[in-house]
Amino acid sequence: FDVNGNGYLSLAEIDKAMRDVVQLPKLFELKPVLMRAFMAAKNKVKSKSKHGDDYVTKGEFRYLLKYLRQYYELYVAFDRIDKDGDRRVSYKEFCMAIPDLEKWGIDMSNPEAQWKQADRDGGGMILFIEFCDWGIKRGLDLDDDDDDDENE
């Protein structure tokens, strides 16, 4: 990942590594996932270096991998809800997804309250970053992912 050997990973290096090292074209194409994971990881450990807070350090690399997994799962959930593919979730799409959201561990007994919490900026649409913040706080977990396949 660290092609220049400076001990820091930039977003561009991570992006390139997804394509060339990890060879996950699907993840390489999902820039919102890479951006969210990068931002979360680079701020995980307080750096002693003047540049450390702007990059992912060696000590934060494992967090980067964890966040890539987490934000990819959130992206899959978001994409399933976003039926028209405009990268925004409308209230109608949100309500249509209530059964899925409940399967994913979200208490949807009050959809209006959940909507207001998810639509943080009050813009009438839930953007990916809003969905991530909302889903993480509620422990959203896809029911059909492979994070608990001990029996296989």
Over residues 2-32, the pLDDT tens digits come to: 888 888 898 889 888 888 888 877 766 788 8
Predicted pLDDT at 44: 79
Residues in the chain: 152
Predicted pLDDT at 48: 66
Predicted pLDDT at 59: 85
- Determine the Cα–Cα distance for residues 73 and 128; give it in Å rounded to an integer: 12
User: What average pLDDT is seen over the chain?
Assistant: 87
Helices assigned H by DSSP within 30-125: 31-42, 61-81, 91-96, 98-103, 111-118
Predicted pLDDT at 95: 96
- Determine the Cα–Cα distance for residues 8 and 45; give it in Å rounded to an integer: 13
The yes-or-no verdict on residue 124 having pLDDT over 80 is: yes
89-92, Cβ contacts within 8 angstroms, sequence gap of 24 or more: 89/118, 89/125, 89/126, 89/131, 90/124, 90/125, 91/115, 91/124
- Determine the Cα–Cα distance for residues 101 and 125; give it in Å rounded to an integer: 17
- Indicate the Cα dihedral angle 97, 99, 101, 105, nearest 10°: 180
Number of Cβ within 10 Å of residue 100's Cβ equals 15
Q: If pLDDT is split at 50, 70 and 90, which confidence band does 128 have?
A: very high
Predicted pLDDT at 94: 97
Predicted pLDDT at 51: 64
Q: Give residues with Cβ within 8 angstroms of 149, minimum separation 6.
A: none
- Determine the Cα–Cα distance for residues 42 and 78; give it in Å rounded to an integer: 24
Question: Chain centroid to CA 60: how far?
Answer: 16
